[in-house]
Amino acid sequence: MKKKIFIYDTTLRDGAQAEGVSFSPSGKLRLAERLDEFGVDYIEGGYAGSNRKDMEFFHQAADLGLKHARIVAFGSTRRKGKNIKDDPFVSSLIAAPTETVTIYGKSWLLHVHEVLRATPRQNIEMVRDTIAFLKDHGRQVFFDAEHFFDGFKDSPEYAQQVLSAAVEAGADCLVLCDTNGGTMPHEINEITSKVCCAFDVPIGIHVHNDCGMAVANSIEAVRAGAVQVQGTINGYGERCGNANLCTIVPNLQIKLGYNCVKKSELRHLRELALFVDDLVNCRPDIRAPFIGHSAFSHKGGPHVNAVQKNPSTFEHIDPANVGNERHVLVSELSGGSNVLLKAIEVGIGRDESVRGKSDILAALKDLEHRGYAFESADGSFRILVQKVLKKHKSFFDLDGFRVIIEKRGKDEPCISEATVKVRVNGEIEQTVAEGDGPVNALDGALRKALFRFYPSISNVQLTDFRVRILDPEEATAATTRVLIESTDGDDTWGTVGVSGNIIEASWEALFDSVEYKLFRDEEKRQSKSRKKKKK
Amino acid sequence: MKKKIFIYDTTLRDGAQAEGVSFSPSGKLRLAERLDEFGVDYIEGGYAGSNRKDMEFFHQAADLGLKHARIVAFGSTRRKGKNIKDDPFVSSLIAAPTETVTIYGKSWLLHVHEVLRATPRQNIEMVRDTIAFLKDHGRQVFFDAEHFFDGFKDSPEYAQQVLSAAVEAGADCLVLCDTNGGTMPHEINEITSKVCCAFDVPIGIHVHNDCGMAVANSIEAVRAGAVQVQGTINGYGERCGNANLCTIVPNLQIKLGYNCVKKSELRHLRELALFVDDLVNCRPDIRAPFIGHSAFSHKGGPHVNAVQKNPSTFEHIDPANVGNERHVLVSELSGGSNVLLKAIEVGIGRDESVRGKSDILAALKDLEHRGYAFESADGSFRILVQKVLKKHKSFFDLDGFRVIIEKRGKDEPCISEATVKVRVNGEIEQTVAEGDGPVNALDGALRKALFRFYPSISNVQLTDFRVRILDPEEATAATTRVLIESTDGDDTWGTVGVSGNIIEASWEALFDSVEYKLFRDEEKRQSKSRKKKKK
């Protein structure tokens, strides 16, 4: 039986301290349900007391009927010089309908003196009183020893006296915190080992990422005997973030053989990570270990070759175990095998891909030399392959476009107007649109022109627009690469355009985006009708 | 004397393997100069052989006159069954004008068998031959033992035999690579220790971040005896990236007391990181340890109070040591001293700067909120300060402009035409110009209009043009920031424009560029005539 490590999620409390991260009340409930499904053991829901919204969350969460996880209310030790019964913060911990509470207290003399302005003994009494009171009220109590590692390095005796007081008062778990995130992995290991030897209660770890060590520090604490790991989804948190559970859980479970969540649930890790990014409206980190879009992307030709022969040559785990997948990037550095895999990935048949491989590669190298990049432009890549294989079908022809940007006086806003003239099955359509900027106007005019022939165009939304100047030293005459990302709700695709004229580059990417959509629609229709015929 | 750790930067080679990261030829040279200034010891510039652009870089870099760093050419051992003299890849390593070369070779039997399809002995001969050949040609040779840790776990004997062959052939450094990024810190420590005991040559470490451990692994290797650390700026690299030098260097130097770069240069770390982000047009990670914008952000209230009383209560290092600063999210005073320094830097007198400080700060905050960035727009900052101090003088007024971009048929080139109407001392001038793209046309028309009044305008050249989409999820309606760099031979200045319309944003930056030039010319004239009078 593998050793169980308890996962304690504090995304809703410590994660929400991050710059730009906040949760709506319904978002908090939805995340609690997702975390429960995933199999975390504890969900720290927020502060008891200081925040009415958090108290409402505790009440609503109690009705969620979670299968496995326990909701935890967070608070601090009583104030200095206050009678515990008169401390409103401690009372609200009792008022919160949770079986488990976590309180934080000081274990670094610097903070006792300079922040609390208390004596070492006063601080210890605050810890002891508060835990005893909460235990008297039947709670499971976790004690977060704030700045524990700094405190221990300063005075091991005092840091341990604080823990002793917590244990005597009945604490169910001692959580060692690296609150400033400044401790190194070997120090974490050494100090946690000492604490695990000295105390007979479960030990937990809560660290921050200020030295880029939060994951390593959490793992080292577990190797030293800690059984509870506190962290957040995607590492959200103040400053450089908290320990990232999306990295820690697969490391513990897949690489080191501990037991954290069900193996079948771990396969939903990437989904969970993207769900949280979505919830807080943050752009996913494509390079995130295990769950990032690039985590199993291969670019170099020899690598791709080797992965095809045996994935374990260049992949340290099977991406499916964390719900991710392998991607092959097409780029300058790539050889035939990249192109082959990529062609298959975008839906070209294997035989056809093999046959067209060298032609596709030649076309690709030529375009890349001119500044195109297909790494995030699957849509344009697909169209390119179709053209090389002489299977490309045009859905419309361009007779021309004109964009006018006009400013009539220093403080007047700029006006952008675009006209587009296209031909569909011999019919000419000419439209005009204004927009927020020239590309927006052009996009509007093009859709307007095509809508009559292809109404599904109206489902397409542009979700990303990036501009890159390729030879900036050419200044305003420089070559420009435009990348567009589009979605129709079902699919998402990228397209690319390159030109010395930024409007023309944007136009190319827009054109590809629309063609790709129309092409995919047709492909889907054909595949449906083939299925029908078979029946 | 603190122990020296050699920093080996591979941003230009391994970093360029990252999804979306590529360098222009001039960008590579600029980065090499910056890395040299910063004090890295080695700069891996690219592949010798496979890529003509990289070979050009080696030749151009040889003329840069770097003060400290050595440029390194990268390649692999000779092919199986090839005579070393006939191997074009090895020959091109000799052709590259660098004193140091790094070659990678296999040390994991799985790769020897499945990727090389060679015998263990054949592989060892490939390593031995190649290093001996390069040493015969007078090179300093570093040996990257690819997949060393996986190889060692599989067969410690074979992995060490490969290293022995490298040492016998004369390798100057054995670099242990965790190529798949799947190794844990304690394994890195244990295996590196064994290698350091077994061999009497310097040991290096090269790791990837697939488990979020690249920083911890690099540090553990150094603690075990490694003296060379390979990594990239901002951790750019394939999949989850390489080891991040921006985290490793401050950890080694500030937290652990090793000697990597000059203390005074470490204070430019954040600047270097932002420079590279800009060069590859990637959005900086605000949560990055040490150098991220949020790395030393504090919320208001007692927390900030504590930091002000004693920064070490909540900060693990002094942010200035890595060129970062504390951000107090609610305090209006944050940044005041920076603004003061900056105002003096761009030529405003000290007294005036002190007097205007809070007004400048307020204007700055407002503009930054709207998307402006002044880090590389000294010209626009100077104009802003002049305006705030009510000392701004207009050299011309804009009555209006119009840009037309027209495409008349699918395969016809786009034509861009701009008309500009300006007023100088009551005189109206109206001009028209065509250009390579709309901004180039606008630039041409503006200069044409002003030339009659200010002939010195013709000396100005635009040397850089960058476009950043600030809210890419708004797609083509997004806010756009344009940065322009201009020079007149004597001075170089940057200007910035922001708008929902890319043409208007470019116009703003162009306008500032011209105003700054005219303003500086006048300033120089006045200072000359003052000097004359004194005589």
Residue among A293, A316, A397, A492 with most chain B CBs within 10 A, to mutate: A316
Whether B289 and A216 have beta carbons less than 8 Å apart is answered as no
Q: What pLDDT is stored for residue A108 in this prediction?
A: 97
Reported as a pLDDT band with limits 50, 70 and 90, residue B300 is very low
Q: What is the dihedral of CA B213, B215, B220, B221, to 10 degrees?
A: 110
Q: What pLDDT is stored for residue A416 in this prediction?
A: 94
Residue among B287, B318, B462, B487 with most chain A CBs within 10 A, to mutate: B287
Asked whether residue B522 is assigned to any structural domain, the reply reads no
Whether B497 and B506 have beta carbons less than 8 Å apart is answered as yes
- Smallest CA–CA separation between A25 and chain B, in Å? 22
Q: Which residues of chain B does A470 touch, with a Cβ-Cβ cutoff of 8 Å?
A: 24
Whether A293 and B216 have beta carbons less than 8 Å apart is answered as no
Q: Which residues of chain B does A300 touch, with a Cβ-Cβ cutoff of 8 Å?
A: 17, 238
Residue among A106, A240, A318 with most chain B CBs within 10 A, to mutate: A240
Q: Which residues of chain B does A329 touch, with a Cβ-Cβ cutoff of 8 Å?
A: 19
Partner residue facing B287 (CB), from A240, A305, A438 = A240
Partner residue facing A407 (CB), from B22, B401, B440 = B401
The structural domain count of chain B equals 1
Asked whether residue B67 is assigned to any structural domain, the reply reads yes
Question: With an 8 Å Cβ cutoff, are B20 and A376 in contact?
Answer: yes
Q: What pLDDT is stored for residue B513 in this prediction?
A: 95
* Residue B67 structure tokens: 């003060």
Residue found by looking up tokens 């007024």 in the block: B397
Asked whether residue B303 is assigned to any structural domain, the reply reads no
Asked whether residue B330 is assigned to any structural domain, the reply reads no
Average pLDDT, chain B: 90
Question: With an 8 Å Cβ cutoff, are B439 and A476 in contact?
Answer: yes
Q: What pLDDT is stored for residue B286 in this prediction?
A: 87
Q: Which of helix, strand or coil describes residue A417?
A: strand
Q: Which residues, listed in sequence order, are joined to residue A145 by a DSSP beta bridge?
A: A105, A176
B410/B40 Cα distance (integer angstroms)? 50
A289/A281 Cα distance (integer angstroms)? 20
Q: Which residues of chain B does A412 touch, with a Cβ-Cβ cutoff of 8 Å?
A: 400
Q: What pLDDT is stored for residue A370 in this prediction?
A: 80
Q: What pLDDT is stored for residue A410 in this prediction?
A: 82
Q: What pLDDT is stored for residue B173 in this prediction?
A: 98
Q: Which residues of chain B does A111 touch, with a Cβ-Cβ cutoff of 8 Å?
A: 313
Partner residue facing B437 (CB), from A185, A400, A477 = A477
Q: How many CB pairs under 8 A join A and B?
A: 352
Q: Which of helix, strand or coil describes residue B244?
A: strand
- Smallest CA–CA separation between A481 and chain B, in Å? 11
Q: Which residues of chain B does A234 touch, with a Cβ-Cβ cutoff of 8 Å?
A: none
Q: Which residues of chain A does B503 touch, with a Cβ-Cβ cutoff of 8 Å?
A: 405, 414, 416, 437-438
Partner residue facing B114 (CB), from A215, A313, A465 = A313
Residue type (1 letter), A508 = E
User: What percent of chain B lies above the pLDDT cut of 70?
Assistant: 93
Q: What pLDDT is stored for residue B333 in this prediction?
A: 34
A46/A57 Cα distance (integer angstroms)? 8
Return the number of other C-beta atoms located less than 10 Å from residue A198's C-beta.
Answer: 14
Question: Could you tell me how far CA A60 lies from the centroid of its own chain?
Answer: 26
Q: What pLDDT is stored for residue B304 in this prediction?
A: 60
Question: With an 8 Å Cβ cutoff, are B179 and A376 in contact?
Answer: no
Residue type (1 letter), B435 = G
Residue among B252, B290, B326, B476 with most chain A CBs within 10 A, to mutate: B476
Question: With an 8 Å Cβ cutoff, are B406 and A407 in contact?
Answer: no
- Smallest CA–CA separation between B447 and chain A, in Å? 13
Domain that holds residue B124: 6-261
Q: Which residues, listed in sequence order, are joined to residue A176 by a DSSP beta bridge?
A: A145, A205
Question: With an 8 Å Cβ cutoff, are B507 and A472 in contact?
Answer: no
Q: Mean of the pLDDT values across residues B85-96?
A: 92
Partner residue facing B19 (CB), from A213, A303, A329 = A329
Search chain B and give the residue with CA nearest A403.
Answer: B405
Asked whether residue A58 is assigned to any structural domain, the reply reads yes
Question: With an 8 Å Cβ cutoff, are A504 and B407 in contact?
Answer: yes
Helix (H) / strand (E) element for A150: namely helix A148-154
Partner residue facing A316 (CB), from B210, B436, B437 = B210
Question: With an 8 Å Cβ cutoff, are A439 and B476 in contact?
Answer: yes
- Smallest CA–CA separation between A373 and chain B, in Å? 8
Q: What pLDDT is stored for residue B330 in this prediction?
A: 38
Question: How large is the ipTM?
Answer: 0.77
Tens of pLDDT along chain A (535 residues)? 689 999 999 999 999 888 767 787 788 998 999 999 999 999 999 988 766 778 889 999 999 999 999 999 999 999 998 899 999 889 999 999 999 999 999 999 999 999 899 999 999 999 999 999 999 999 999 999 999 999 999 999 999 999 999 999 999 999 999 999 999 999 999 999 999 999 999 999 999 999 999 999 999 999 999 999 999 999 999 999 999 999 999 999 999 999 999 999 999 999 899 889 877 767 789 899 999 989 998 876 667 777 777 888 888 999 999 999 887 776 655 667 777 777 877 778 888 888 888 888 888 878 877 888 887 788 999 999 889 988 888 899 999 999 999 998 888 888 999 999 999 998 999 999 999 889 989 999 999 999 999 999 988 888 778 787 777 666 666 788 888 888 887 888 889 999 988 899 999 999 999 999 999 999 888 888 887 777 6
- Smallest CA–CA separation between B219 and chain A, in Å? 9
Asked whether residue B236 is assigned to any structural domain, the reply reads yes
Rg (CA), chain A: 29
Question: With an 8 Å Cβ cutoff, are A215 and B211 in contact?
Answer: yes
Partner residue facing A402 (CB), from B404, B435, B436 = B404
Q: Which of helix, strand or coil describes residue A165?
A: helix
pLDDT above 90 (res B283): no
Asked whether residue A162 is assigned to any structural domain, the reply reads yes
Search chain A and give the residue with CA nearest B213.
Answer: A216
Q: B214-223 vs A185-198: helix axis angle to the nearest 10?
A: 80
Reported as a pLDDT band with limits 50, 70 and 90, residue B117 is very high
Question: With an 8 Å Cβ cutoff, are B111 and A255 in contact?
Answer: no
CATH number, position A79: 3.20.20.70
**Rounded to 5 degrees, what are φ and ψ at B314?**
-125, 5
Residue whose C-alpha is closest to residue A115's, from B311, B320, B299: B311
Q: What pLDDT is stored for residue B475 in this prediction?
A: 66
Asked whether residue A133 is assigned to any structural domain, the reply reads yes
pLDDT above 80 (res B299): no
Residue whose C-alpha is closest to residue A380's, from A369, A396, A368, A362: A368
* Residue A127 structure tokens: 């810890």
Cα within 13 Å of Cα(B186), Cβ side: 15
Q: In angstroms, what CA-CA distances link A239 with A236, B296, B317? A: 9, 6, 13
Partner residue facing A406 (CB), from B26, B315, B402 = B402
- Smallest CA–CA separation between A158 and chain B, in Å? 17
Q: How confident is the model over B302-336, as pLDDT tens digits?
A: 566 677 678 888 889 999 999 998 876 533 334 56
DSSP label at residue B404: E
Q: Which residues of chain B does A376 touch, with a Cβ-Cβ cutoff of 8 Å?
A: 19-20
DSSP label at residue A321: G
Q: What pLDDT is stored for residue B125 in this prediction?
A: 97
Phi/psi-derived region of residue B207, left when phi > 0, alpha when psi is between -120 and 50, beta in every other case: beta
* Residue B88 structure tokens: 């074009």
Q: What pLDDT is stored for residue B483 in this prediction?
A: 86
In chain A, count of helices (H) and strands (E)? Answer: 18, 16
Residue among A150, A189, A190, A211 with most chain B CBs within 10 A, to mutate: A211
Q: Mean of the pLDDT values across residues B384-395?
A: 89
